[in-house]
Amino acid sequence: MKITYDEFLKLARDPSVPEEQLLKYCRVVRHTGAFDIQFQVKPELVEMTEIDEEFENALQIGNWASRIRRYWRFKEAMKDHPERPMLISEGDSWFQFPIIIDDVIDHLSEHYNIYSLGAAGDTAQNMVYGPDRARRREYLSALYDYKDKVSGFLFSAAGNDIIGEDPDTGVAVLFDILQDFNGDINDVDGHINRVAFDEKLAFLKGAYERVISDIRGVSELQNMPVFVHGYDYVFPYKWQGDTRDPLHAAKDEWLGEPLSDRNIPSVLGRKIISAMLDELYAMLDGLAAADANVIVVDCRGAMPNLTDWVDEIHGTSDGFAKVAGRFKMAIDQALVAHGAMT
């Protein structure tokens, strides 16, 4: 039985409606760029006028629906669970994976009141510097607005910049970081373009330093815990026994294709990407060494099995629950130390 488009939008805006029910009326649009998961309303289930269709094309349901539903859930949680610590999160698809998967913030929202600013497809470049001015340093405005209530800030912002897609070109970033296969299956360092990778890492270091500086510039937030992470060791497609077939992306969307273009076997590819993630963690550890209230949540090994991953770089709902467990342990420890939890 069809519903009207207005009825569908009411469902999308209602945070009490389960994602599974909303998803019945949508289909996933593949290859929409980076991690930007988008959906289209199924015309066989939703009655749409010509004006509705134009609005739907402009709206690009995905991040929009998830953000607004999370916002209203946050507002309700603040009223229903005032005893919970309040957090603010900003980040990419690990923190905001629309509708299909319960991401890290979905799981953590069972324990904390989280004002989520995340958006699938976002980059450190955009979150910190622009060019999309509507999203530029949104985290700072939110932190300032809630400076008397917020107990911690969660930040996830290196995915698209290293192992995702260039949001302007749609080309996998990894391609420019890799060197052509030299025949040595054990040579990790020899397959990393140091100039390209070091440039990416230096940019990310500066972006994270800017975020921390922004936050510490607000007197009420000078000692607030800031939680960061460097992702987990991935399984590039095609891995042995690989049966992953994501709705939202090609099987080799981010890692398998550039590895194949460089003729690098996936076993070596995993070692290369793991080495790069280790360097990312080392950079984050350096930031934490300079600020005792910057806390690095080590997610390496949280999703050790191929079945923990829905695609090459995102966990399943159960996989992300394991990552959320790492975050919860770090958050609870920090908030107890700061007197925000008992």
* 17-54 pLDDT per residue, tens: 877 777 788 777 665 544 556 677 788 888 878 766 66
Give me the residue label for tokens 């500086």: 213
The continuous run of DSSP H or E covering 274 comes out as helix 266-290
Tell me the average pLDDT of the chain. Answer: 88
In this prediction, residue 60 carries a pLDDT of 53
The two three-digit tokens of residue 27, written as one number: 């289909």
Inform me whether the pLDDT recorded for 136 exceeds 60: no
In this prediction, residue 324 carries a pLDDT of 98
d(CA 135, CA 241): 40
- Among candidates 318, 248, 286, 260, which has minimal Cα distance to 93? 248
In this prediction, residue 300 carries a pLDDT of 98
Residues forming beta bridges with residue 27, ordered by sequence position: 40
Q: Could you give the C-alpha distances from 334 to 75, 175, 223, 290, in angstroms and in order?
A: 24, 38, 11, 17
In this prediction, residue 55 carries a pLDDT of 53
Write the CB contacts of 154 (distance below 8 Å, at least 6 apart in sequence): 87, 88, 89, 90, 91, 95, 105, 108, 114, 227, 327
Which pTM value belongs to this model?
A: 0.85
The mean pLDDT of 257-272, rounded to a whole number, is 96
The mean pLDDT of 129-146, rounded to a whole number, is 76
Grade residue 127 by pLDDT with cuts at 50, 70 and 90.
Answer: confident
The mean pLDDT of 93-110, rounded to a whole number, is 91
Return the higher-pLDDT residue of 18 and 121. 18
In this prediction, residue 58 carries a pLDDT of 45
Inform me whether the pLDDT recorded for 15 exceeds 80: no
d(CA 65, CA 67): 6
Task: Give the lowest-confidence range in 119-123, 226-230, 289-293.
Answer: 119-123
Q: End-to-end alpha-carbon separation of the chain, Å? A: 51
d(CA 231, CA 278): 10
Return the higher-pLDDT residue of 23 and 215. 215
Give me the residue label for tokens 């996998």: 172
**For 142-174, how does the pLDDT look when each residue is reduced to its tens digit (9 = 90+)?**
999 999 999 999 999 987 788 777 666 767 789
Give me the residue label for tokens 């009207």: 4
In this prediction, residue 134 carries a pLDDT of 47
Task: Give the lowest-confidence range in 18-22, 148-152, 204-208, 292-296.
Answer: 18-22
The mean pLDDT of 267-283, rounded to a whole number, is 97
